Structure 1
Amino acid sequence: MSQWPDRRILDLLGIERPILQAPMAGASGTAMAIAVSQAGGLGALPCAMLTHQQVREHIAAFRAASPGRALNLNFFCHQVPACDADALTAWKQTLEPYYRALGADFEAPAPASNRAPFDEQSCQLVEELRPEVVSFHFGLPQADLLRRVKASGARVLSSATTVEEARWLQDRGCDAIIAMGYEAGGHRGMFLSEDITTQIGTLALVPQVADAVDVPVIAAGGIADHRGLLAALALGASAVQIGTAYLFCPEANVSSFHRQALDSAPASDTALTNLFTGRPARGINNRLMRDLGPMSAQAPRFPLAGGALMPLRAITEAQGDSDFSNLWAGQALRLGRYMSAADLTRDIADKALARLSR
């Protein structure tokens, strides 16, 4: 055998290797997307924290460096929460001891913390820029916007953390589904439930999703080398999405203290936490998570929890400290290797294909 046994994702997305780079907001950008795409995978640009003009500039740089290569634009689909002044006040009061200890101004209004959900303006941007792939996190946008995205020619992907979510996504027109296991770093893509006890591991999730839907499945969570890719293919996936392993690449935009945590944390030292944004996300444990517990009912709804932490982050990060900073990482972090994103993409895919060819 010299070819991939399941070419559905390769043919659907127009890529050469069955590897998708996870769109990691704040940690990945154009340089990583270019490197992955030039190696035959699918590069991604996370758009939730970018202005529309920044998206245009990033895409222009990508097109100039990687003509003819596919690009995935990723958007969040959360509902903007109503302002709950009482919840915000209670959350800030929980953090008051840290304000006092660090000399932060507790009486000053907390900065706004925001992530832009996919909306009319985002849809117009997709119609203007015509990316090959558009992916969503936390479900899908409203039906009329989704129809326009598909009419632009983009293939649509979204994350499912349960079989029920996978069926929901297929029923609404997803071209492929990312089966996101419990091991994955960053924000859980969960959207039909807020109960983290519903979340299951990649090994159990992928074959159940593959049995439940007709569209191709992309495995995510705990995959960082060719062994993970081989396992995913054996479980019924057509490709994998990789995030944490790319954080070790020079193209990653990670802080020095995030890098230090990635280098030193054991695989057992990550947890799901809602403290930093209000939604469950997997990251490396730090002081805030240990002091308050990784999950807190007091954390305001996504994305409002981050506002009151900003003054604390500003002070401690200036000191090279990550006590109040999110350090997103998945459970496979100890499999990370220092090599370029292009070399990592080729290494994972080529070693897997060589094993399949035996």
Structure 2
Amino acid sequence: MLNNEMMKHLNLKNPIIQAPMAGGITTSNLVAEVSNAGGLGMIGAGYQTPIQTREQIREIKQLTSNPFGINLFVPNEFNVTPEAVQSANELLHPIRKQLNIDQTDSFDIPEYKKIQESFIEQVKVVIEENVSICSFTFGIPPNEVIDELKQHNITLIGTATTVREAIENEKAGMDMVVMQGSEAGGHRGNFIDGHQESLVGLMSLIPQAVDNVSIPVIAAGGIMDGRGLMASICLGAQGVQMGTAFLTCIESGAHQVHKDAILNAAEDQTTFTRAFSGKWARGIKNKFIVDMLEHELTVPEFPVQNLLTQVIRKTGSGQNNQEFMSLWSGQSPRLAKSETVGILIKNIMAEAKNINLDR
């Protein structure tokens, strides 16, 4: 059961992929330790410049000789007016005041064309640095990008939240697809279906996806241990992608306040919000989310809102104030532990093998 097409293709000892969490969580040490332990470490390069991406790839190569991958955000067109930015700034002004942030409300709306150019540059870096695995979130990249990566024998992994999105990933040429259940922490990967329509629980999602695509399915959302791994395998997945479980590991670059918030949270304390970034994401409820609740549908789209709240999140982190940080977490925080990557993976595999033997 624990030796399949996905593992052979990715050259893995264990069917565990570390979720590519952008924003500094996937340190070079975290990525390398996952790969060294027989899983697949993944760089979350969504917010990186091409130069930062290249530097981290080279750093990880010094730390592991095993395969590792990288995740890129597929740029989405957005339509944000100066009036919308001004309105959002007015909403955020009282929160900035609470945090003693002295900042003018002047703001340049990012250009979609420049974001697109940066994405293409990152793709070039992936090719030039010979990274063998590349995954995508927030959609499917253009055909020419897929073709170019495939010409360099790079394994492509898509992200989907519904069967329809999984089918589109396969049609586009993805070699595998991560099925993101509604339990997953962080940003939602939906790109065809709306937010509500994409909230399918993982136990429902896996078997339906497996029955409708021929590429390997990777399960993601609330998986923290050997039980979650084996449940996913029994439902037809060939591996799991885990985020929150790795976020609280010693090697993770997450802020200690973020780690502690997860380690002390219960399953009913996470919620969805688009107030932080303009894109729906699951995290632990705090004052910022509650204060912005009635306005979250009107804030600018990603990445504009993400840039507008950046100073609030940064200041909250600097002040060790979890009420103003984006505390992304899946729905299984009670299962989170503070331990090394090596111990986490060893325990997951030991538990999975015991369950397999019992069967």
Question: By the TM > 0.5 criterion, same fold?
Answer: yes
Query: Secondary structure at the residue paired with 2:267?
Result: coil
1:215 equivalent to 2:212? Answer no
Q: Which amino acid aligns with 1:148?
A: E
Identity value in percent:
31
CA–CA separation in structure 2 for the residues paired with 1:198 and 1:63: 36
Q: Which amino acid aligns with 1:109?
A: S
Give per-residue Cα distances to partners, 1:29-88, cap 9 Å, x unaligned. Answer: 211111111111111011122222222222222222212x11111000032424421111
Q: Greater CA deviation, 20-29 or 120-129?
A: 120-129
1:77 equivalent to 2:74? Answer yes
Q: Which amino acid aligns with 1:297?
A: L
CA–CA separation in structure 1 for the residues paired with 2:199 and 2:163: 10
**Alpha-carbon offset, residue 351 of structure 1:** 2.0
Query: Secondary structure at the residue paired with 1:204?
Result: helix
Q: Greater CA deviation, 43-52 or 278-287?
A: 43-52
- 1:111 touches 1:307 (CA, 8 Å); kept in 2? no
Mapping for residues 319-334 of structure 1, pairs under 5 Å? 319-334=319-334
The aligned residue for residue 296 of structure 1 is 296
The aligned residue for residue 267 of structure 2 is 267
**Structure with greater contact order relative to length (CA < 8 Å, sep ≥ 6):** 1
**Alpha-carbon offset, residue 294 of structure 1:** 8.0
Give per-residue Cα distances to partners, 1:67-125, cap 9 Å, x unaligned. Answer: 2x111110000324244211111111122222344443464424878995673212211
1:7 equivalent to 2:7? Answer no
Q: Which amino acid aligns with 1:128?
A: E
The aligned residue for residue 172 of structure 1 is 172
Q: Greater CA deviation, 57-66 or 235-244?
A: 57-66
The aligned residue for residue 28 of structure 2 is 30
**Alpha-carbon offset, residue 198 of structure 1:** 3.1
**Alpha-carbon offset, residue 156 of structure 1:** 0.5
CA–CA separation in structure 2 for the residues paired with 1:180 and 1:295: 26
The aligned residue for residue 44 of structure 2 is 46
The aligned residue for residue 141 of structure 1 is 141
Q: From the superposition, tell whether residues 264 and 83 of structure 1 become closer, same or farther in structure 2 (CA, over 3 Å).
A: same
Q: Greater CA deviation, 341-350 or 247-256?
A: 341-350
CA–CA separation in structure 1 for the residues paired with 2:313 and 2:120: 33
Gaps of 5+ in 2: none
CA RMSD of aligned residues (A): 2.1
Mapping for residues 271-282 of structure 1, pairs under 5 Å? 271-282=271-282
Mapping for residues 1-358 of structure 1, pairs under 5 Å? 4-25=1-22, 26-67=24-65, 69-105=66-102, 107-110=104-107, 119-293=119-293, 296-358=296-358
Q: From the superposition, tell whether residues 354 and 263 of structure 1 become closer, same or farther in structure 2 (CA, over 3 Å).
A: closer
Number of aligned residue pairs: 354
TM-score by length of 1: 0.93
CA–CA separation in structure 2 for the residues paired with 1:74 and 1:295: 31
CA–CA separation in structure 2 for the residues paired with 1:344 and 1:111: 43
TM-score by length of 2: 0.92
